[in-house]
Structure formats: C-alpha cells, structure tokens
Amino acid sequence: MSELFRRFGRLGGGLVLATALLWALLLIVLPQLWMVDLSFRPNLPVAARGGPEDGWTLANYAALWANPLHRTIFWQTIWSSLLVTLLALVVCYPVAFHLAQEAKGTQALLLATALVIPFWVNEILRTFSWFLILARNGLVNRLLLALGLIEEPLALGGVGAVMIGMVYAYVLFMIFPLYNALESLDRNQIEAARDLGASTWRIHWRVVIPHAKPGIAVGCVMTFMLAAGTFAVPQIMQSLPGGTNARWFTQIIYSYFFDGGDWNRGSAYAFALLLLCIFFIMAMMRLFRVGLRDIAK
C-alpha cells in the first residue's frame, strides 16, 4: 500500500486505490447485498413493491426447506461436489507428485503440456467430449457392443456421468496447487524417510502430505467451489440417456431467475448455496490447519 503511494504519488496512488475499491463495491459488494435483500422479500408484481405486502420475510428460505425435491437436489449437489473434490484429489495427487518430484527435463515438460493443452479448449467443449464418449452411440457403448459384452447400448447418464465430466473439467485447478506445494518439498526428506526404512505409504502419510497440506486445502476449496457452482457441466451431461435425474442446484437457481421470473426465490437459493460453500472452506481450513494466508499464497 505504502509502496503504491511511493511509486505513483499521493494523487496517482489514491486514484488507483479508488478505482479498485469502486470496482469491488459496484461489481461485487452491492449486487451481493442487493441479492441478500431480495432473498428476504416476497416476490411481488412491480406495482405492489413498497406497498403493504412488501417487507422482510424468511418465506423464500422456508420454501427451499419445504420443497423435498429442491432440498434433495441441494444436498445432492453438495454431496456430489464433495465426491468430485475427493475424486479429483485422488486422481491428481499421484500426477502432481510425479510431476513435482520424479519427472525430469523433457518428460516433465511433456507431461505438463499434456495437462495444459486440454484447457485451451473451453469448458463446454471439454465436457462435450465426455458427452460423446458416454453417449448412446458413443465410444464406450460401441466398444462394449463390439466386444459383445452387451446387446443393447447402455444408458450411461446420471450423477456419475456428471461427476466424471466435472473431475475432468477441473483437474487442473487441483493439480496446480498440489504441484506448487509438492514442488517445494526437499527431496532429501523423502530419501531420509526411505533410508530410515519407511514404506512408500508411510513416506506420503507422514512426510509428503503434511508438507502439501496448504496445497491440498487450496485445491479442494477451488474444485469444490467450481463443482458446486457449475452450470454448464450438468446441463450438458443431463442430455445423456438416463441423465435426467442428475439435476444440479445451480440449474434450479437459474430457472427461478430466468424461467420463473422469481428473483427473490432465486436469490435465497443462491445465498443458501453460498453459505454452505463458505462453511465448506472454513471446514477445510480447520481440517488441514491452514490459515487464510496460506490459501492466499
């Protein structure tokens, strides 16, 4: 902050700071506050707003609790996002460890490139590639048919398909924080543990994972937030045969805003999701005993 003033002078620094604050206020704080306000008001025709029926109410939140379908989808979204996070961690940890500690020179470069290239393609297309793999006439069904393992194409849609799509869509957000954390681990520590007789499992459990905790926490928080807040992946994967049951809570929020025209209910649902996500971040930080400072790194 003082660096900013030193470099641009009092006026220049003040302008830069004011711009940033204005940006945050206009585009982040005010809309959020407005949404929170909306979520506590009834959905009224324009003419009735500010009238006798208008006022603070918990009805929108109560509606989420009262609607068994929405409640189920809400918990299912949270649960699936947790599973997606866990899956992504399981998939990414060995890759990140290999990349950070074992791969050398060209091999490391090739591996990193192979990981990054799919991310030059946008999320919709990346998800769509999984759609094609799992479709009725997709790769998996054709392979199984060709091998004579099945008679009829399988309906591969569902929550599982959505989760696969998400794990694929978000691996990088898990790998890079993990890689960063693992890369800073002194190789000698691994060798010291090995020299003292520790098994691979114990080396990871006692030496590598404790060191990588901040990276694991960051990766999990990012993946979970992306998974819980995604709209595109479930939207695409639902079109698979058998996929209609895999509804995501974000889709309900979307439909209240843009199909139902009930912004108040939509806001309440969105805010409920946000609260739960914040709770998740806190829980992860507590679980891995990391502070906000570590996460910000």
State the number of binding residues for another protein (CB under 8 A). Answer: 17
- For 49-112, the three-class secondary structure string (H helix, E strand, C coil) is CCCCCCCCCCHHHHHHHHCHHHHHHHHHHHHHHHHHHHHHHHHHHHHHHHHHHHCCHHHHHHHH
Q: Does position 294 bind another protein by CB under 8 A?
A: no
At closest approach, how far in Å is the CB of 22 from another protein?
A: 42
Nearer to another protein, 58 or 287 (CB): 287
Nearer to another protein, 49 or 206 (CB): 206
For another protein, which stretch binds (CB under 8 A), given 47-55, 93-101, 173-181, 184-192?
Answer: 184-192
Nearer to another protein, 199 or 244 (CB): 199
At closest approach, how far in Å is the CB of 296 from another protein?
A: 21
Nearer to another protein, 183 or 262 (CB): 183
Least Cα distance to 115 among 186, 181, 179 occurs for: 179
Q: Does position 107 bind another protein by CB under 8 A?
A: no
Q: Does position 122 bind another protein by CB under 8 A?
A: no
Q: How far apart are CA 179 and CA 138, in angstroms?
A: 34
Q: Do residues 186 and 211 lie in contact, with contact meaning Cβ atoms separated by under 8 Å?
A: no
Q: Does position 197 bind another protein by CB under 8 A?
A: yes
Identity of the residue numbered 186:
D
Q: Does position 233 bind another protein by CB under 8 A?
A: no
Nearer to another protein, 205 or 231 (CB): 205
Q: Which two tokens stand for residue 282?
A: 């806190």
At closest approach, how far in Å is the CB of 102 from another protein?
A: 14
For another protein, which stretch binds (CB under 8 A), given 24-32, 83-91, 202-210, 261-269?
Answer: 202-210
Q: Do residues 136 and 153 lie in contact, with contact meaning Cβ atoms separated by under 8 Å?
A: yes
Q: Do residues 39 and 267 lie in contact, with contact meaning Cβ atoms separated by under 8 Å?
A: yes
State the helix-helix crossing angle for 159-183 and 105-116, rounded to 10 degrees: 140
At closest approach, how far in Å is the CB of 103 from another protein?
A: 18
CA distances from 289 to 111, 214, 293 (A): 31, 8, 12
Q: Do residues 216 and 193 lie in contact, with contact meaning Cβ atoms separated by under 8 Å?
A: no
At closest approach, how far in Å is the CB of 221 from another protein?
A: 21
CA distances from 141 to 163, 216, 241 (A): 19, 35, 12
For another protein, which stretch binds (CB under 8 A), given 39-47, 104-112, 115-123, 200-208?
Answer: 200-208
For another protein, which stretch binds (CB under 8 A), given 96-104, 123-131, 189-197, 218-226?
Answer: 189-197
- In the complex, which residues of this chain contact another protein (CB under 8 A)? 186, 188-189, 191-199, 202, 206-207, 210-211
